[in-house]
Amino acid sequence: MTKQHLAQKEKNEIYKSDRVSLMTSEGGVMTATMLKCFNAIQVSLQNFVIEHYTSVDTAEDVLGESVLEFEVPWVEFCQTMGWKSTNRDSAKKTVKTLRQVQVEWGLGEYDTGSAGYLHIISGAKIDNGVLSVRIDPLVRRELLNLRGLASIAYDVSLINSAWSDKYTPRFYELCLRNWRDGKNSTRYSVDGIREAVDCPYEIVNGEKVWANAEFRDFNKRVLSKAVKNINESNFIDFNVQVKTVGKPVHTIFVGLSLKESFDNSLNDRVAKQVLNLLIEHGLKQAAENFYDRKLGQTNSLHKLTSKEYHYLQYCIEKYIEKIGSIRPGNESRYLTTCLERNEEAFEPIWAKIQDSLEQERKKQRQEKIVYEQQLNEAKKAKRAEVKGAYNASVVAEYMSELSQVQKDALIEQAAKSQNKTNPSRLFDKLPQAAKDAIVRQYVINSGLVDDMIDQAKLKRLLKNADETIEQEFKANKNRLPLIQQ
């Protein structure tokens, strides 16, 4: 994915160059919450650029060496972090802490001759429900991938809603880079994995001493948990396999394989299995007669609860075990007897099944949270796009009503404002797209088109944008069904 794709990215995607996704914090002090906050800042910046400048290059032409300050409604920012708005106080503390964190972009093969730490944001404040973030030009260029380096793109909700630790999302990004590059098996040193997931460390006598220095501790608390979390997440295309080499372990192979499509409803799955077994053994009518009488309804086999399907499966398996000793012609009666007499014996088995179902429900609750986060992010990005297009049309209409002398005077005023606030990017030396963006923002910020903005029309456009995103999500069947009780 190149930088030109940023303006066409999926609405709920975050877009990271390899340098940014390989970012490490000094001492590995970045926490899971800080990572969520960082991701929220990056995706908010990208949405801001799409709305105001349409492209990375135009934003660079306009901003140059100036410090960019952009605003995000605080509630929206908390949602992007995957937090409820009631967590605002904690989020405020996180933003404040993030100002102090120093990071180094991943170097790899890109900048082997450079190193050093820098602050992610230079300032942040919250006023009247709006978060203002200040970002220095060096950081802005990295977060927008001005250099067009190799990059990954994924749903920000995967990071900010699905997992509570910091190691799983970092390890997921490592795997995603390999998946992008077609690497089914990649070799790492143990310290290489620690670097990739930003493990904490101290410098002792000039040497880096890792937390969880013993591999068994690192594997238990970091690596195995990350692999388990990824493999249990149904919204990821691949499974992860890890193999270790050496005693003590010195090499880790990370393998990736395509994940088989997952049936989201265990109840539907066991129902299909049971019905197929009943048909295979000629027992469908016997089972249906039993449950029709028991439940007092017809066509009952398609209306059973999860427990009833599992109990029926249990009785069919008992039938299959005894199939060789059942007298011909007595098959239906045997199944009916099993169904009548084994409910008590099934209870401890059902308890174990319930444990398994509860794990599956947790997965589906996680999926639902991710879905809602995806939907919110998609709506927010689409709203920014629609609002930007509407503002541009209003400005174009305003400019069309001016005489050439008035247009020239207005452009001159916009140019003076640009030259004063950003002398490194003189108006006359900028490409036309940047000049147009500067004039457009000057007209809007000066209030010259306030009386031309039809708030009712804008509201309708934003509502239509929301509905469009909702329809797209429904068409893609992103919502996951809950397991029937």
Show pLDDT as tens, one digit a residue, over the chain (485 residues).
445 545 545 545 788 989 999 999 989 999 998 898 899 899 889 888 888 888 888 899 999 899 999 988 888 888 788 776 556 677 677 777 777 878 888 755 445 445 567 888 888 888 888 889 999 999 999 999 888 888 888 877 667 777 889 999 999 999 999 988 888 899 999 999 999 999 999 999 988 999 999 999 999 999 999 999 998 877 787 899 999 999 999 999 999 987 754 444 556 778 888 888 888 899 999 999 999 999 888 878 877 888 899 999 999 999 999 888 988 889 999 999 999 999 999 999 988 888 877 777 667 666 766 777 677 778 878 888 888 889 889 999 999 999 999 999 999 999 998 888 888 788 898 889 889 989 998 998 888 988 898 989 998 998 898 888 888 887 775 433 333 33
Do 421 and 43 form a contact (C-beta atoms < 8 A)?
no
**Residues 111, 17: contact at Cβ < 8 Å?**
no
Contact 238, 175 (CB under 8 A): yes
In this structure, are strands 201-204 and 207-210 parallel, antiparallel, or unpaired? antiparallel
Residue type, 204: V
Q: What is the pTM of this model?
A: 0.64
- The C-alpha atoms of residue 227 and residue 239 are separated, in whole angstroms, by 8
Start and end residues for every CATH 1.10.10.10 domain found in the chain: 163-261
Q: Does domain 163-261 have CATH number 1.10.10.10?
A: yes
Scored b (16 or more CB within 10 A) or e, 325-352 reads eeeeeebbebbbebbeeeeeebeeebee
- Burial of 20 by CB count in 10 Å (0-12 exposed, 13-18 middle, 19+ buried)? buried
Phi-psi region of 35 (alpha: psi -120 to 50; beta: other; left: phi over 0): alpha
Output the six-digit token pair for 380: 């927010």
d(C-alpha 368, C-alpha 371), whole Å = 5
Name 73's bridge partners: 130
CB 219 within 8 A of CB 48: no
What is the residue whose two structure tokens read 């972090």? Answer: 81
Q: For position 150, what pLDDT does the model report?
A: 84
What are the helix and strand counts (H, E) for the chain?
A: 19, 13
CB atoms within 10 A of CB 82: 24
* Alpha-carbon distances of 12 from 103, 110, 289, 366, rounded to whole Å: 25, 28, 50, 17
- Cα(39)–Cα(46) distance, integer angstroms: 11
pLDDT of residue 224: 95
- Token pair for residue 348? 């401890």
Tell me how far apart the alpha carbons of residues 384 and 426 are, in angstroms, rounded to a whole number: 27
CA distance 138 to 118: 9
Q: Can you point out the beta strands (E) in 237-342? A: 238-245, 251-258
Taking CB atoms within 8 Å and a gap of at least 24, the contacts of 344-349 are 346/311, 346/314, 349/314
* Nearest-angstrom CA–CA distance, 103 and 299: 63
Q: First CA to last CA across the chain, in angstroms?
A: 44
**CA atoms within a 13 Å half-sphere pointing along the CA-CB vector of 165:** 18
Calpha distance 198→24 (Å, rounded): 5
Residue 32 CA to residue 172 CA, distance in Å, equals 14
Rounded-to-integer distance, Cα 196 and Cα 226, Å: 12
Distance of CA 172 to the CA centre of its chain: 11
Cis previous bond, 248, omega within 30: yes
Are the C-beta atoms of residues 39 and 156 closer than 8 Å to each other?
Answer: yes
Measure the CA–CA gap between 241 and 229, rounded to whole angstroms: 12
Strand residues in 105-215 grouped as ranges (E): 118-119, 123-127, 130-135, 151-155, 185-189, 201-204, 207-210
Question: Two tokens at 373?
Answer: 């986060």
